[in-house]
Amino acid sequence: MAKDGEKSGWKEYIWNPRTREFLGRTASSWGLILLFYLVFYIFLAGLFTLTMYVMLQTLDDHKPTWQDRLATPGMVIRPKTDETYEIVYNVEKTESWDMYTQALDNLLSPYNNSVQAEKNNDCVPDQYFLQEDSGDVKNNPKRSCQFNRTMLELCSGIRDHYYGYQDGKPCIIIKLNRVIGMLPSKDGHAPFVTCGAKKEDSDKIGELLYFPPNGTFNLMYYPYYGKKAQVNYSQPLVAIKFLNITANQDVNIECRINANNIPIGSDRDKFSGRVSFKLRINTID
C-alpha cells in the first residue's frame, strides 16, 4: 500500500487534476515565471548589445586603439622552410637547395617591378613618407612606396635564378617586423643591417655583400600605418650574399638592426632587433 501511495503522490505532483497544477504550479504561475525570465534575458541581451555598441564606437577600423609596441622590433630571415633557423644544403645536390630558391621566389614575386609600379608610389628616398589624417577626416587608404625587386641586385633572382645556392654563394633575405607608427631613426640616418659570425666561427664567415647598399631600410617605407590603412604596403627587405663562407662546417651567424633610436635587444629575447641562424654549405657527401 505504501508503494501505491508513493506512486500516487508522484503522479499528483506531476499533474494534479483537482488543483490543475503541473509540477506544483498552476498555468498562471508558470506563465508569470516564464514571462519574468523572458523579460530578464531580453534585458541582459539588450545591455550586452548596448555595451558592445558603445565599445565599438571607440575603435578605429584602420588603427589599433591600444598598442603594446616593442622598443625593438623583431627580425626574421628568409628562406625559412620549417621552425628551425638552419640553412643546410649540398651544392652538388639540387634537391637539397631547391626548396630554398622556391621560397625566395615566392617571397619576391610581389616585388616585381611591374607589380610595384602598378600598385605603389615612386617616393622620394631618405625621408619619412608621412600621411597624416586631417582631424576627424581619415586619409585612407594610405599610399605605399615601391620596393622594386631589382634593388636586391645579385640577390633579386633575376639574373641568377638560383640566388647563388648552386655555387655556394647563397643569398639570405632579412625582414624587420612591422610596427604601426614606428619611426626607426632620427636625424635622417636610416637603420641598417649588419651580420657577423658568432665568436667561435669568426674566421669562417668570409666576405659579405649587402643589398640595397649598406643593408639599409630606407626611411621612405616608414611609418607603417597598418594592414587596413595601407593595403598595398611593401615591406622593405635587405639581402645578404655570402661570397666565400667556409664549406663543410657549421657557421653560426647573427644579424642585427642598427639605428640611433632603436635600443639593442636583450639576451632574454633572441628576436629583439636581431636574428641568429646556422648556415652550412656542403661540397662533399
Query: Could you tell me if 213 and 238 are in contact, meaning their C-beta atoms sit under 8 angstroms apart?
Result: no
Out of 11, 26, 57, a domain closes at 57
Quick one: pLDDT at residue 251? 96
Mean pLDDT of 199-216: 93
The answer as to whether 62 is a domain residue is no
The answer to whether residues 52 and 168 belong to one domain is: no
| pLDDT single digits (tens) 20-68 | 676 667 778 888 888 999 999 999 999 999 999 888 777 666 666 666 5
Within a domain: 278: yes
Specify the pTM: 0.76
Q: Are residues 262 and 121 in the same domain?
A: yes
Give a yes or no: residue 65 inside a domain.
Answer: no
pLDDT of residue 138: 76
pLDDT band at 126 (very low <50, low <70, confident <90, very high): very high
pLDDT, tens digit, 9 for 90 and up, residues 236-270: 999 999 999 999 999 999 999 998 877 766 555 65
Q: Does 66 fall in a domain? A: no
Domain CATH code at residue 79: 2.60.40.1660
Do 146 and 37 share a domain, yes or no? no
Q: Are residues 177 and 149 in the same domain?
A: yes
Q: CB atoms < 10 A from the CB of 29, how many?
A: 13
Q: How many residues comprise the chain? A: 285
* H/E segment holding residue 9: helix 2-14
Residue 110 contacts residue 234 (beta carbons within 8 Å): yes
Q: What is the DSSP letter of 111?
A: G
Question: Same domain, yes or no, for 53 and 153?
Answer: no
Is 20 in the same domain as 95?
no
Helix (H, G, I), strand (E, B) or coil at 201: helix
* List of residues 6+ apart from 243 with CB closer than 8 A: 169, 206, 207, 208, 209
- Identify the pLDDT of residue 271: 64
Phi, psi of 152 (to 5 degrees): -90, 0
Has residue 151 been placed in a domain?
A: yes
pLDDT per residue as tens digits for the range 217-239: 999 999 999 888 899 999 999 99
Q: What does the pLDDT read at residue 15?
A: 67
- pLDDT value for 85: 87
What percentage of the chain exceeds 90 in pLDDT? Answer: 58
Parent domain of 243: 75-282
Report residue 213 as a C-alpha cell: 647598399
Any domain includes 21 = yes
- Residue 70: inside a domain: no
State whether 120 and 259 are in the same domain.
Answer: yes
